[in-house]
A and B are shown apart, each in its own frame.
Chain A
């Protein structure tokens, strides 16, 4: 019986992988459902096991079974590792994704699984924390805080009870690495969390997954049940979000697990000292926790040897939006934005020129092609007025209206704000109105109260276009520095970057030519 491998990833299923799998099963094949390899242009992808290894074909429809099985199908790719999208990758975290049945304990163990956990159990907690520190791993959720330092704080805080929390509330548009890993290699995340538990002395962990990821929720539930005896005495449970983007912020995520409204907490106290139910809590992103098994299994130096500047190791970069070869590309830091968008991504799917890319989700800056020389690195992006965030890159072609995107950033912030702090709650709504007025070229006129004779200091003339732009910048400044968390604090990134690099869309002359050229 021929064995074929077909992804069960949500993206592959959305493209029809289930009907393809049914067709192969009907033809008498043994169908193994895997995670996704990560290149969606060739999905649904079918890999056929042969004496010469797995031969990939894609995209494949349910009517292509015969041509695939006799090897004559036109979409024959060959061994997937030789495909240009995959040959340049360094897969530390996603090594097994797309290769094995995600829920096969045997497959996981046979492909290097549990090596990190076994290595960690042979070490003292302090030695595990030291290894994570030495690897140079920084939080993959966006902030880039050194993971080892966070773990050290939790280890050093005495308490009867500590927690490991995995932030799998991946709400940023343009990112899907957490989802792919949970669906394609869930034991890997479980192993990372069990290592964290050993390192800081926590016995229980929560994985908080957004409700928009039903496949990941189901896979993690099942994987936890199957791995329970392997990770003892550590225990895990899944908590499902309920559609609030702000719960991806760590403190509001903690409140949500506690069963409250997902409102942001003021820091300090840090969650590492007073986190879930006031107990010391490690809260890390899926990708941070999933980087740990490699570090323990292969040694921190093997991880630190890859990277760029102070950004060590690999980053699973997600290339999305209007792009030809969209997907997940795991590689060491340091590739330039241009290489990622044009060479690896292959430019736009529409075939039109790239006009802008947004890096880091809805709170990340928009960059024009003139900045494509930027290396993918936390510091380089911060210096250029942006952030790499969760490493999602959303590509836009030249039909994009950047004033509309800036307005959307404000609108999104208004929709998703938790309401606790004023700059975010009210600033976002005022920002939306302000951008509407700027685009409509209808500056605000003085109102009835302002024109009263006793209002001597109030302006009575309508604002000019430049004054409205100035006000928008001022509002962004208030939101950036006055908001409690990154939702209000980072919404100015897309707004200001759109304004700086694409002023013509706001009806202004191209004054920031130096930055945009």
Chain B
């Protein structure tokens, strides 16, 4: 019940009468606060915004950013788009996956690290690029892969 009260506090902050199109900002806020969007929050959101639970679920599942499971302790978002590919991104993806022992698009079983694809970070002349827990990293080479692996295992 206390957990639901926590969700409700965030929901009440965003589900204001003059806030139109409140669902995305609300979902971002929940994820910021709790790391993911917990299932029990869905009916509360639906109720606050006068939507059906299916509509809320539809939005959560449409956008790749929203997760319904708690995130790994470290999240690596590696760019897979063309400009990074032109600079050897595919090879770096392979090396990173090998070093971390996790496939692209998955979290490792111990919950330590997740490797997620991202399609362009707008750093296209200095690829391959990644966001390591939100911090941008550019020109990733073999030494860079090793540095990332050390960072996320710590």
Asked whether A and B interact, the reply is yes
Interface residue ranges, A against B (CB under 8 Å): 10-11, 13-15, 40, 43, 170-176, 178-179, 211-214, 239-245, 256-262, 277, 318-323, 326-327, 349, 358, 361-362, 392, 394-397, 400, 405, 408, 412, 415-416, 418
Considering the complex of A and B, which 5 residue pairs feature the smallest CB-CB distances, nearest first?
A326-B125, A173-B81, A320-B124, A259-B23, A242-B63
* Complex Cα spacing A408 to B82, Å: 8
Q: Which chain A positions have C-beta within 8 A of B136? A: 10-11, 13-14
Q: Which chain B positions have C-beta within 8 A of A173? A: 79, 81-84, 119-120, 124
Given A212-B118, A416-B119, residue A15 in contact with residue B126 (CB < 8 A): yes
Q: Is the CB of B24 within 8 A of A242?
A: yes
Complex partner residue of B22 from A43, A259, A319, CB under 8 angstroms: A259
A-B contact pairs, 29 of them (CB 8 A): A11-B125, A14-B123, A14-B126, A14-B129, A15-B126, A173-B120, A174-B82, A175-B122, A175-B124, A176-B125, A212-B77, A212-B121, A212-B122, A212-B131, A243-B64, A243-B118, A244-B63, A257-B21, A259-B21, A260-B55, A261-B58, A261-B62, A262-B62, A262-B63, A361-B82, A362-B81, A392-B124, A394-B83, A394-B86
> Most chain-A Cβ atoms within 10 A of its Cβ — which of B49, B58, B62, B125?
B125
Complex partner residue of A323 from B59, B125, B129, CB under 8 angstroms: B125
Q: Is the CB of B138 within 8 A of A15?
A: yes
Q: Is the CB of B82 within 8 A of A394?
A: yes
Given A242-B65, A244-B64, residue A408 in contact with residue B124 (CB < 8 A): no
Closest CB of chain A to B83's CB: distance in Å? 4
Q: Which chain A positions have C-beta within 8 A of B121? A: 10, 212-213
Q: Is the CB of B20 within 8 A of A174?
A: no
Given A242-B65, A259-B59, residue A10 in contact with residue B123 (CB < 8 A): yes
Q: Which chain A positions have C-beta within 8 A of B120? A: 171-175, 212
* Complex Cα spacing A416 to B119, Å: 10
Q: Is the CB of B25 within 8 A of A318?
A: no
Interface residue ranges, B against A (CB under 8 Å): 20-25, 27-28, 49, 55, 58-59, 62-66, 77, 79, 81-87, 118-127, 129, 131, 134, 136-139
* Complex Cα spacing A323 to B83, Å: 10
* Complex Cα spacing A362 to B28, Å: 27
Q: Which chain B positions have C-beta within 8 A of A405? A: 82, 85
Q: Is the CB of A40 within 8 A of B59?
A: no
Closest CB of chain A to B9's CB: distance in Å? 20
Given A240-B24, A240-B28, A412-B119, residue A321 in contact with residue B126 (CB < 8 A): no
Known: A176-B122, A320-B124, A326-B126. 5 other contacts (CB 8 A): A213-B121, A242-B24, A243-B64, A259-B20, A416-B119
Closest CB of chain A to B141's CB: distance in Å? 12
Residue of B nearest to A216 (CB): B122
Q: Is the CB of A11 within 8 A of B126?
A: yes
Q: Which chain B positions have C-beta within 8 A of A13? A: 136
Closest CB of chain B to A36's CB: distance in Å? 11
Q: Is the CB of A395 within 8 A of B86?
A: yes
Q: Is the CB of A321 within 8 A of B119?
A: no
* Complex Cα spacing A171 to B120, Å: 6
Q: Is the CB of A211 within 8 A of B82?
A: no
Q: Which chain B positions have C-beta within 8 A of A43? A: 126
Q: Which chain B positions have C-beta within 8 A of A259? A: 20-24, 49, 59
* Complex Cα spacing A408 to B86, Å: 12
Q: Which chain A positions have C-beta within 8 A of B62? A: 244, 261-262, 418
* Complex Cα spacing A349 to B55, Å: 48
Q: Which chain B positions have C-beta within 8 A of A320? A: 83, 86, 124-125
* Complex Cα spacing A461 to B127, Å: 46
> Most chain-A Cβ atoms within 10 A of its Cβ — which of B49, B59, B65, B123?
B123
* Complex Cα spacing A204 to B146, Å: 48
Residue of A nearest to B66 (CB): A242
Closest CB of chain A to B134's CB: distance in Å? 6
* Complex Cα spacing A242 to B25, Å: 10
* Complex Cα spacing A234 to B93, Å: 46
Q: Is the CB of A349 within 8 A of B138?
A: no
Residue of B nearest to A215 (CB): B136
> Most chain-B Cβ atoms within 10 A of its Cβ — which of A173, A256, A394, A412?
A173
Closest CB of chain B to A86's CB: distance in Å? 15
Q: Which chain A positions have C-beta within 8 A of B123? A: 10-11, 14, 176
Closest CB of chain A to B132's CB: distance in Å? 10
Closest CB of chain B to A230's CB: distance in Å? 23
Q: Is the CB of B122 within 8 A of A213?
A: yes
> Most chain-A Cβ atoms within 10 A of its Cβ — which of B23, B86, B126?
B86
Q: Is the CB of A242 within 8 A of B125?
A: no
* Complex Cα spacing A260 to B137, Å: 32
* Complex Cα spacing A11 to B127, Å: 10
> Most chain-A Cβ atoms within 10 A of its Cβ — which of B28, B126, B131?
B126
Residue of A nearest to B63 (CB): A242
Q: Which chain A positions have C-beta within 8 A of B118? A: 212, 243
* Complex Cα spacing A261 to B79, Å: 24
Closest CB of chain B to A314's CB: distance in Å? 20
